[in-house]
Structure 1
Amino acid sequence: MSDKITENKVKNHSRKTGRYSIAALFIAFAFGIALGAFKSDNVMAVVKTYDQLEVFADVLSLIETNYVDEVKPSKLVDGAINGMMRALDPHSSYMSPEMYKEMQAETDGEFGGIGIEITIKDDILTVVAPIDDTPAASAGIEAGDRIVKVDGESTFDMNLMEAVRKMRGKRGESVTITVIREGLDRPKDFTITRDIIKVTSVKSTTLPGKWGYVRLRSFSRDVGADLRKALNKFKQEGFKGLVLDLRNDPGGLLNQAVAVSEQFLKRGELIVYTRGRMPNQNLEFSAKNTSEDNSYPMVVLVNHGSASASEIVAGALQDLKRAVIVGTQTFGKGSVQTIIPLKDHAGLRLTTARYYTPSGRQINGVGIEPDIIVKQRAPEAVAEEEKKAHENQSEKEKIKAKANGEKPKAVEKAKKRPIVNLDKDYQLQRAIGVLKSWEIINGIQNRELTAARAK
């Protein structure tokens, strides 16, 4: 009995010694906070924070001295930091040195992986959008898919950076992701072969009727400059209106969202503003480098995969009555993350502000509602029609060949995917319909104006 008492005393003494040495660090930390907040009523809040930090120090000390296995303090501290970040929002996270290095490759335009933009929505890892012409897009991954497993490992306790690391890897290696999708009765596995992801952010073409079409895949570097080149080419060709396609564009750099928007606006018009707790996070961005003769009719296409910078552009053009927004509700990712370097090359991705459209609408968690809601036709329905058309064409070829005494020719597959397929894209068809209506209405108005002047 006496041996147990002695043993417990030794444990209690070592525990208290460790606890108080660790607590001393948090006392200094809390004292530093108190000095900064002493001028306000926040002092009581700081005292409460100090009490909670003391409890944290107690827990840390108890784990170090009594847990069944020896645990490295650094592992405990990292776990505590990650827990703090999870208590904030899906976009705030702690980045280890390895994660911080990987993060720096996100907007460089080329990286290894499967080609999807992800976020955490309703506590579930969610696909914002697949990137066009990537393994994920080819495999059939869709915006809104909920990823519940990566290579059999549950994603429910993963943060964003951990999930990204799991899905990235060497070119040629495969990864299996398990998704839950609306309309599917059970989770579905997609085994995808990783590749080098090269993002061509701007693609453009002229559609029949002299309608300009620009597809923005992401808001990486130089998107604004590349868009300006495409618009100048359209102007030289005498185009009549523009479709700006932001579907499945997960966003990117804020300065590129501004660079894109200002090309359709008047100088000085507000594009977006941010609001945070710190004064330096309250910023406004207005059009400066505007383009001449930018009053042409314009439609912006959006869907659930349009997020962040895409929503900034769509929201600004909608609020300022510059374009008609067509499609479905956007994703609703409208917060500002500041990257803060830490010691040992680690980093902190912290949400510090939120985006607002010119009229004051908050984007985060809400998204942009189109002026004209148009749902895209289900891929299964399109595929079935294509199959029937192919079968009918094949049968027709067989009969024709038989009548001529020839062997039927094999149906050739398209060697290269076109920038856009107007025949199969219902939302784009509706967008062109809006531009044509715009042209007709302008013609009527001009005729009435001419008649009025003649009187």
Structure 2
Amino acid sequence: MSKTKYALTGFGATVLSLSLLFSSSFAQSPSESQSRLEAYNKLRKVIGTVENYYVDEVTINEIINKAIDGLLSNLDAHSSYLNEKKYEELKVQTDGEFGGVGITISMKDGALTIISPIEDTPGDKAGLKSGDIILKIDDKSTLNMTIDDAINLMRGKPKTKVKLTIVRKNEPKPFVVDIIRDVIKVESVYAKRIENSEMLYVRVTSFDKKVGKRVAEELKKASWAKGVVLDLRNNPGGLLNQAVELTDLFINEGVIVSQKGRISSEDAEFKASKNSPFAQIPLAVLINNGSASASEIVAGALQDHKRAILVGENTFGKGSVQVVLPLDKNEGLRLTIARYYLPSGRTIQALGITPDLIVHPGVAPREKKDDFSIKESELKQHLENELEKIGDKKEVKKEVKSDEDNKSVISEENLWNDIQLKSAMDALKTWSIINPAKK
């Protein structure tokens, strides 16, 4: 089984042969071999019983597929079985274009919960928020529904309608949101000048296969910039190599991220290439509870190298490595094989990244914690972490967008409406005075 290029930051249609079932990469003692044989016999008996006695007729292929799906989904929150449809959808998604609503979802205590809407998609425009619980999709309850099944229901032909019943913190009762599906073509990177300043705002919405290249292009065009705000808020992650490539733009040497798993062959260390063109420019990174996986790798590496000021809220805490292992041309497994570790050796898993400057969204301080913020540690099958969970759960609000009159500039008015961005700007101004960028 060879790994595909889809190393993520989140079997088959025939019966497994006995040779595959009994294959092993390590020598076994007689007692271990006997134990494996007894386990396989139990599985065979269960399959036979279901095939012969279940109330409805179920084919052997259906039984095996369901068994595989159950096995993977019970390992952790991010491993899954990819049948032909899901396998194709994953490849389309990593290419940066797919059809549907435009939200990132996960499970929290058995409830289908929105991690974050994808910016400028139908879900975002309809007002869906991080922490919203999806109670129904059209008329189908999401109780005990898998994430993949929910995704399949929400995706569909462009211009068709899907109805989501939402439960939201502080709302007295569930409410319905009607959303018109569209082709979700995510613009993963865009940049704007911040009005009346020499600061560049760079927003990265997800880590598809072009992120590193696109950010480098924007930075090269902004030769006038004396500071950069890199916005990773509500960025759910994506491809590992793009997280490494983006970080490499800003540091000249050292480890960016390492991964360690049960199998030593899966251990890896990713280092800076020593030719960073932007290693001196002052940098602030915006993060929040919706920043996950690849976003946390970038933010954590820049923090460990003391290369950026992190502003915002504690991140999601997804520090596990998934790879896609093809079973054949049309099916595969998304399997967790390792954990990520930052340059300092600290883990992200179930802890997340704590910003250097904690700033909550909004102007006025909030009186209560928002119990509907989602973290990796709260997922039903999250990987256990060796360290104690830290960090409060905070409400996520949508970040500022540029004014309508000038799409390439963030106005002062919008800047003041986004206290996190304003705080990042203030931090950069201080940095520029103390340690001006080398040109």
User: TM bucket by the smaller chain?
Assistant: 0.7 to 0.9
> Which residue number corresponds to residue 437 of structure 1?
430
Structure 1, unmatched stretches of 5+, are 1-23, 382-412, 444-455
Alpha-carbon shift at residue 375 of structure 1 (Å): 0.8
Letter in 2 for 1:292: P
Kindly indicate whether the alpha-carbon contact (under 8 Å) linking 1:144 and 1:304 is maintained by their aligned counterparts in 2: no
Distance in 1, Cα, partners of 2:313 & 2:332: 36
Corresponding residue to 2:83 among 71, 85, 96 = 96
> Which residue number corresponds to residue 275 of structure 2?
290
Distance in 1, Cα, partners of 2:69 & 2:243: 31
Kindly indicate whether the alpha-carbon contact (under 8 Å) linking 1:329 and 1:367 is maintained by their aligned counterparts in 2: yes
Letter in 1 for 2:74: A
Letter in 1 for 2:361: Q
The answer to whether structure 1 residue 336 and structure 2 residue 321 are counterparts is: yes
> Which residue number corresponds to residue 263 of structure 1?
249
More deviation in 205-214 or 24-33? 24-33
Distance in 2, Cα, partners of 1:25 & 1:214: 48
Kindly indicate whether the alpha-carbon contact (under 8 Å) linking 2:249 and 2:278 is maintained by their aligned counterparts in 1: no
> Which residue number corresponds to residue 229 of structure 2?
243
Corresponding residue to 2:164 among 177, 192, 211 = 177
Corresponding residue to 2:39 among 52, 59, 73 = 52
Alignment of 1:252-401 (within 5 A): 252-266=238-252, 268-288=253-273, 290-292=275-277, 294-343=279-328, 345-377=330-362
Distance 1:337 1:374, change over 3 A: same
> Which residue number corresponds to residue 63 of structure 1?
50
More deviation in 114-123 or 74-83? 114-123
Distance in 2, Cα, partners of 1:327 & 1:351: 29
Distance in 2, Cα, partners of 1:356 & 1:417: 38
> Which residue number corresponds to residue 9 of structure 2?
none
Query: What RMSD in Å do the two structures reach over aligned CA positions?
Result: 2.5
What CA deviation, in whole Å up to 9, does each residue of 1:205-248 have, x standing for no partner?
Answer: 2212211111111111221111112112222x2x2211111111
Kindly indicate whether the alpha-carbon contact (under 8 Å) linking 1:95 and 1:161 is maintained by their aligned counterparts in 2: no
What CA deviation, in whole Å up to 9, does each residue of 1:21-41 have, x standing for no partner?
Answer: xxx9886555434xx4325x6
Kindly indicate whether the alpha-carbon contact (under 8 Å) linking 1:30 and 1:49 is maintained by their aligned counterparts in 2: no
Letter in 2 for 1:210: E
The answer to whether structure 1 residue 232 and structure 2 residue 215 are counterparts is: no
> Which residue number corresponds to residue 131 of structure 2?
144
Distance in 2, Cα, partners of 1:211 & 1:335: 34
Distance in 2, Cα, partners of 1:289 & 1:141: 42
Distance 1:45 1:289, change over 3 A: same
Distance in 1, Cα, partners of 2:181 & 2:332: 27
Kindly indicate which of the two structures has a greater share of residues assigned to helix: 1
Alpha-carbon shift at residue 250 of structure 1 (Å): 1.3
Distance 1:175 1:249, change over 3 A: same
Kindly indicate whether the alpha-carbon contact (under 8 Å) linking 2:340 and 2:347 is maintained by their aligned counterparts in 1: yes
Distance 1:209 1:347, change over 3 A: same
Distance 1:202 1:27, change over 3 A: closer
Secondary structure at the counterpart of residue 23 of structure 2: helix
Distance 1:353 1:242, change over 3 A: same
The structure with the largest alpha-carbon Rg is: 1
Distance 1:46 1:162, change over 3 A: farther
Distance 1:110 1:344, change over 3 A: closer
Distance in 2, Cα, partners of 1:295 & 1:313: 17
Letter in 1 for 2:420: Q
Alignment of 1:24-43 (within 5 A): 31-33=22-24, 36-39=25-28
Alpha-carbon shift at residue 186 of structure 1 (Å): 3.1
Alpha-carbon shift at residue 343 of structure 1 (Å): 3.9
Alignment of 1:410-449 (within 5 A): 414=404, 420=410, 421-442=414-435
Distance 1:191 1:293, change over 3 A: closer
- Percentage identity across paired residues of the two chains: 44
Distance in 2, Cα, partners of 1:67 & 1:148: 30
Distance 1:256 1:343, change over 3 A: closer
Alpha-carbon shift at residue 143 of structure 1 (Å): 2.1
Corresponding residue to 2:207 among 189, 210, 219 = 219
Distance 1:205 1:363, change over 3 A: same
Secondary structure at the counterpart of residue 105 of structure 2: strand
Alpha-carbon shift at residue 442 of structure 1 (Å): 4.3
Secondary structure at the counterpart of residue 171 of structure 2: coil
Distance in 1, Cα, partners of 2:78 & 2:16: 29
Distance in 2, Cα, partners of 1:378 & 1:155: 35
Secondary structure at the counterpart of residue 65 of structure 1: helix
Kindly indicate whether the alpha-carbon contact (under 8 Å) linking 1:91 and 1:120 is maintained by their aligned counterparts in 2: no
Kindly indicate whether the alpha-carbon contact (under 8 Å) linking 2:363 and 2:419 is maintained by their aligned counterparts in 1: no
Alpha-carbon shift at residue 306 of structure 1 (Å): 1.0
What CA deviation, in whole Å up to 9, does each residue of 1:402-428 have, x standing for no partner?
Answer: xxxxxxxxxxx9478776431311111
More deviation in 318-327 or 106-115? 106-115
Q: Number of residues paired by the alignment?
A: 381
Structure 2, unmatched stretches of 5+, are 1-14, 367-402
Distance in 1, Cα, partners of 2:404 & 2:277: 39
What CA deviation, in whole Å up to 9, does each residue of 1:374-433 have, x standing for no partner?
Answer: 111189x9xxxxxxxxxxxxxxxxxxxxxxxxxxxxxxx947877643131111111111
Kindly indicate whether the alpha-carbon contact (under 8 Å) linking 1:258 and 1:313 is maintained by their aligned counterparts in 2: yes
Letter in 2 for 1:232: K
Letter in 1 for 2:61: S
Distance in 1, Cα, partners of 2:421 & 2:261: 37
Alpha-carbon shift at residue 346 of structure 1 (Å): 1.7
The answer to whether structure 1 residue 210 and structure 2 residue 224 are counterparts is: no
Secondary structure at the counterpart of residue 423 of structure 1: helix
Secondary structure at the counterpart of residue 105 of structure 1: helix
Alpha-carbon shift at residue 344 of structure 1 (Å): 6.7
Distance in 2, Cα, partners of 1:201 & 1:279: 33
